[in-house]
Chain A
Amino acid sequence: MLTLALNNLTRRRLRTALTLLGVAVSVGVLACLLAFGRGYEAGLGRELNNMGIQMMLVPLGCPYDAAARVLKGKTLDVSLPAESVKTVRKDSAVAIAAPMLMATLPRPSEGRTDLWVGVDESVRPLKPWWKMKEGSRWFPDANSVILGAEAAHAELREVGDTFFSPETGRKFTVCGVLERSGTSDDSQFFAPLATAQAMFHQPDRITAVAIRLKDPTLIGDASTRLQEVKGAQVVTMAEMMGTFLNLVGSVRTLVFAITVLALCISGLSVFNTMLSAVLERTRELGVLRAVGASRGQVFRLLAIEALLLTTIGSALGIVLALLAGRFVEMGVRLFVPLAPSETLLVLSREVIQQCFAVGIIVGLGAGLYPAWQASRLQPVEAIRVD
């Protein structure tokens, strides 16, 4: 029966191929969508957890945008007074308060713009993924710099090298080089906070304060108290994650609706293919009935054909998702806020099973009516058709 069904599908190769393509594309999109949802949520959660930051103090404005920009190593147009760090550190619930100043340094001669981040030692526990190359050490003096892996590669610098920065008129010594982490830190230049403030003419200003609490359960009270810091606002990581997931969730809902539409269209395509097959093969189906096929057997034959179409289509869709996933991820990264550094598309066994299940349900739904029609054919009427 399977051979018979498979052979029937190869009769109209172009039509079968187009139907398979329709199913494959819609299942592929569904697979990417499901895989992205899981990957993004898990990745974002892990990344925020790894930082060990419960909240951030950012300048007034959109707190989520500000926090996301700081976390991803982008500059802000507004800043906080450096005094605010002291206020934060005084709070009894705060374990670590790490000030950061972020600024860009255009390098016209190199055709690029460098991102400098002024930090002090309090930032180190908040960057657990930092691994220094051999010989590296923390800033020994004001003119020391720690380079991210890509920044060191671009500058062709090693630990111990010195270089002159004509844009700032300063001479720096590379006291450390970070190993590649896959985060935005890779391309950044880290300098002592005071040096960065002087370089960029931002005395006593900072971009944000990353905060770790002694006890995460104190977040409610701490957040309320720190909202009082003048010119600043607090955003918790839980709020950030919730906001980002909601935002991404809205987009996912839209894409999901389009995917459902695509699945419906591919289901209609399977329906059309199967119904055409029944009409084209009316006489042949009559012959099958005449030589002893029962209604159930004819029904099964057509149902198997529909299932084969959608199962093969679903398998192709999964392969498509695996092949195109990397490119989809590159595109998605441009649009999602705070994309985690790890992979966003996680094609787990569960996702693959779900996609196959959807494909099979679509196949069955689309194939049932044509199969029922075929099973209702009376042999004598079918044979009479010319």
Chain B
Amino acid sequence: MQTLVSAQELTKVYNRGVEEVRALDGVTFDLQKGDFVAITGASGAGKTTLLHLLGCMDIPTSGELLMNGQSTRGLSDSALTRMRREQVGFVFQHFGLLPTLTVMENMTLPALFSKRDAKESAKELLEKVGMTHRRNHRPNQLSGGEMQRVAIARALINCPQILLADEPTGNLDSVNGEAILQLFHQLNRDGLTIIVVTHNPTLANATQRQLVLRDGRLVP
């Protein structure tokens, strides 16, 4: 098994005025290629902070994060951007689609920033998430479930090694939530490593492994 993510004593401290908030406190774990993992815990436990660190959107206060064997410590902003662009796909709870762009344009945004032509892979992905018929629609013409499927397709357009999803079913009804879960299973079967932050027990129980956080620490 290949270790894709290795977190070692990850700590993240925020300063909220004079108060110091320890969002993560010495979190250590490894993830293998092909894992489907849920990060769970109560609100404020540090789930989203951990996901942001894994997504190279933030840097730890201390500790080390190895992505595919490469440490993110001391990386410049442009190097972190490159990692976000090439190795990680991110799915937001609020979908994060740009209202002025069509489904197709939203999907191909990461490829635009990578300066590569992604028309063919975009078509394949649209088919995979069942959104081919909506390719020219704008987000305000889509349902919540459809928007989330577009967001997942966008996260996959640059063929990342890891898909990170922050409460991907949080804004969806149970039917659409189930559809997203099935999509994750399909992607995971295809070899994609998936990490989801969720409060949804159905989704959490459907994963291979759960990392439970409490007050910034992993519950053994």
Contact = CB atoms under 8 A, between A and B. Distances in A.
A10 interface: yes
A292 B52 contact: no
A74 interface: no
Contacts of B178: none
Interface of B is mostly: helix
A383 interface: yes
Contacts of B109: 288, 291-293
Interface string A275-294: 00000000110011111111
B100 A290 contact: no
A4 B108 CA distance: 12
Which residue, of A288, A289, A291, A380, has the highest number of chain B Cβ atoms within 10 A?
A: A291
A3 interface: yes
A136 interface: no
Given A291-B154, A292-B85, A379-B57, A1 B112 contact: yes
B34 interface: no
Given A380-B52, A380-B57, A383-B57, A291 B90 contact: yes
Given A291-B84, A292-B113, A293-B113, A383 B92 contact: yes
A294 B81 contact: yes
A183 interface: no
Question: Which 8 A-B pairs have CB atoms at the shortest separation, nearest pair first?
Answer: A292-B85, A7-B100, A287-B96, A292-B113, A380-B58, A380-B57, A379-B57, A292-B110
Interface of A is mostly: helix
Contacts of A383: 52, 57, 92, 96
A295 interface: yes
Interface in A218-273: none
Contacts of A11: 99-100
Interface residues of B, number: 27
B169 interface: no
A295 B92 contact: no
A204 B99 CA distance: 86
B137 to A, nearest CB: 15
A294 B100 contact: no
Chain A interface bracket (under 10, 10 to 19, 20 to 34, 35 or more): 20 to 34
Which residue, of A1, A4, A11, A295, has the highest number of chain B Cβ atoms within 10 A?
A: A4
Contacts of A75: none
Given A1-B112, A380-B52, A380-B58, A293 B81 contact: yes
A297 B100 contact: no
Interface string B147-158: 000000011001
B142 interface: no
A174 to B, nearest CB: 72
Given A8-B100, A11-B100, 10 more contacts: A1-B112, A4-B105, A289-B57, A290-B57, A290-B96, A291-B84, A291-B154, A292-B158, A294-B78, A295-B81
Given A3-B105, A4-B101, A295-B78, A290 B113 contact: no
B100 A292 contact: no
B216 interface: no
11 contacts: A289-B57, A290-B57, A290-B92, A290-B96, A291-B154, A291-B155, A292-B81, A292-B84, A378-B58, A380-B58, A383-B92
Contact of B100 (A10, A288, A289): A10
B136 to A, nearest CB: 14
Given A4-B100, A7-B100, A379-B57, A289 B81 contact: yes
A289 to B, nearest CB: 7
